[in-house]
């Protein structure tokens, strides 16, 4: 089994704070300190001959509407051949923390719009990661009402666009049966280093790199 990436592929990570992971936005090649960096480091170490280039343009606090607003500069202009996206938890959170819900149809239509643009203009391929939440603190349980339909939308879009799907929500649920919730994500949303490594391993497995 060999990785799905072609030689000299450009892989772009997009998303919110989980993808951002403290990257230096003034340094275009900086990948942050999360799953994007771990993924790129391991892939590059295992397959240096492929010459795959990794970029990260995740921005903390972003929703899919924010991605749409910066899609040209932070995606299309970079001409990636593969685009990895994880977006959706802020949409769910704001329903409960700011009384600012994003209707599911808006999430779906906007997500589909940016994927369509990348497919039509770049013929890019996609890796879609499910948004996730763990029930810590307990009020995160309420977020499921909003998040679960958005996870299903991501799954449907993966089928529609022939994308590789990383089932992040299920992966964290499975992992939380092995260790306490805070070991993986103390606030239910932002992974610990172990949580980021868990995501990186799942991502690499999804692209046939492990």
Q: Which residues does the annotation mark as catalytic?
A: 17, 187, 190
| Distance in angstroms (rounded) separating the CA atoms of residues 126 and 13 | 10
Q: How distant, in Å, are the alpha carbons of 43, 79, 187, 197 from that of 200?
A: 10, 23, 19, 5
Q: Which of 60, 22, 56 is nearest to 41 (CA)?
A: 56
Q: How far, in Å, CA of 30 to CA of 74, rounded?
A: 14
List CB contacts of 113: < 8 A, sequence separation 6 or more: 68
Integer Cα distance of 86 and 101 in angstroms: 18
């Amino acid at each position: 089994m060999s990785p799905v990436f072609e030689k000299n592929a450009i892989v772009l990570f997009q998303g919110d704070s989980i993808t951002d992971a403290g990257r230096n936005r003034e340094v275009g090649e900086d990948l942050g300190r999360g799953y994007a960096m771990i993924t790129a480091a391991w892939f590059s170490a295992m397959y240096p001959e492929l010459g795959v280039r990794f970029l990260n343009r995740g921005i903390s606090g972003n929703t899919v509407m924010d991605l749409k607003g910066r899609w040209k500069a932070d995606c299309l202009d970079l001409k990636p051949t593969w685009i990895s996206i994880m977006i959706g938890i802020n949409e769910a959170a704001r329903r409960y923390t700011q009384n600012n819900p994003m209707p599911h149809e808006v999430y779906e239509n906007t997500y589909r719009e940016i994927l369509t643009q990348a497919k039509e203009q770049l013929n890019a391929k996609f890796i879609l990661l499910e948004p996730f939440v763990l029930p810590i603190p307990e009020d995160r349980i309420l977020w499921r009402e909003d998040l679960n339909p958005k996870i299903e939308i991501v799954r449907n879009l993966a089928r529609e666009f022939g994308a590789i799907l990383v089932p992040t929500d299920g992966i964290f649920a499975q992992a939380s049966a092995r260790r306490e919730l805070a070991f993986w994500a103390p606030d239910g949303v932002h992974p610990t280093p172990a949580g980021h490594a868990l995501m990186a391993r799942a991502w690499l497995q999804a692209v046939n790199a492990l």
